[in-house]
Amino acid sequence: MRFKIGRIPETAEAPAEDGWLKLREPPMWVTRLISLPLSLVLALIAALFVIRLTKISSEGLTGGVLIAVYVGTIAMHELIHASINPDRGLSDRTTLGFWPTRLVFFVYYEGSRSKRNHMLCLLAPFLLLSVLLLLASHYLGWNSWILGAVIILNAAASSADVLNFFITMFGVPNSSQLQNRGWTTYWRATGSTVSSNQPLQPITREDARSG
């Protein structure tokens, strides 16, 4: 895994003759605009479930610890993304980063993957840190406010993931490969050119010019 402060690694767009089609998805600014109210909705729903299903209270909550819990939640969120990548986040194909000017944490994978893996990668942090942790707190009687904070903060942080999950679900055939080029997602039907188990090398700007 590589670590990066700054923008997502730049790669050129996939050439049309290679069979890759651009996924119909909103530009980044529209995604962020939609994600803001969606974050609030997810946080409110998560808070409602925490109140109704668990014995978690706000006793002992302090601002400084809450900030630390938020940072830790984001770190766990991104590491879960990385662990679902085809390389399990263990090779240089996975980049974990923070883009300060956009206030965006990200995990970027350079290579192709199946639709199933792509969708699981998007939804895994929400399922593990919000849904599963909520159920565990309910059935095991956990009552620390830190757990409630993780559940709610992670739900809010999952808004763009949830949005992209549904865009992928309805916008790409099931038997497809997907690959990101920066913020843009491309897909193609699984066929004879490349196996979905063999990630494509990222296309560099020099490759694109020479091609």
pLDDT at 116 over 60: yes
- Rounded to whole angstroms, how far apart are CA atoms 69 and 176? 37
Over 70: is that where the pLDDT of 200 sits?
A: no
The span from the CA of 5 to the CA of 173, in Å, is 34
Assess whether pLDDT exceeds 80 at residue 181: yes
Of 132, 189, 187, 127, the residue nearest 161 (C-alpha): 127
Domain that holds residue 124: 29-190
22 vs 124: CA distance, rounded Å: 24
Q: Which residue has the higher pLDDT, 205 or 10?
A: 10
Across the chain, mean pLDDT equals 85
**In-domain check, residue 114:** yes
CA pair distance 177, 53, nearest whole angstrom: 39
Q: Do 121 and 97 form a contact (C-beta atoms < 8 A)?
A: no
Does residue 206 register a pLDDT over 60?
Answer: no
pLDDT digits over 28-75, tens only?
888 889 999 999 999 999 999 999 999 998 888 888 999 999 999 999
pLDDT digits (tens, 9 = 90+) for 147-173: 999 999 999 999 999 999 999 999 999
Task: Render pLDDT for 69-115 as a digit per residue (tens, 0 to 9).
Answer: 999 999 999 999 999 999 998 888 899 988 888 778 889 898 889 99
pTM: 0.83
* Per-residue model confidence (pLDDT) at position 177: 93
Given a cut of 60, whether residue 195 has pLDDT beyond it is: no
Q: Name the β-bridge partners of 177.
A: 114, 188
Question: What CA–CA distance (Å, rounded) separates 74 from 82?
Answer: 12
Looking at residue 12, what is its pLDDT?
57
Residue 130 covered by a domain: yes
Phi and psi of 100, rounded to 5°? -60, -40
So what's the pLDDT on residue 84? 96
Residue 90 maps to a domain? yes
Number of separate domains in the chain: 1
Residue 54 in domain = yes
Q: What is the DSSP string of the chain?
A: -EEEESSPPP-PPPPGGGT-EE-----HHHHHHHHHHHHHHHHHHHHHHHHHH-----TT--HHHHHHHHHHHHHHHHHHHHHHSTTTT-STTEEEEEEGGGTEEEEEE-S-EEHHHHHHHHHHHHIIIIIIHHHHHHHH----HHHHHHHHHHHHHTHHHHHHHHHHHHHS-SSEEEEEETTEEEEEE--SSS-TTSPPPPPPHHHHHH-
Does residue 168 lie within any of the structural domains?
A: yes
Structure-model confidence comparison of residues 126 and 20, the more confident one:
126
Between residues 146 and 207, the one the model is more confident about: 146
Two structure tokens written together for 146: 């830190």
State the Cα–Cα distance between residues 111 and 178, nearest whole angstrom.
Answer: 8
Has residue 120 been placed in a domain?
yes
pLDDT category at 190 given cuts 50, 70, 90 is: confident
Whether 144 maps to a domain, the answer reads: yes
Q: Is residue 74 part of a domain?
A: yes
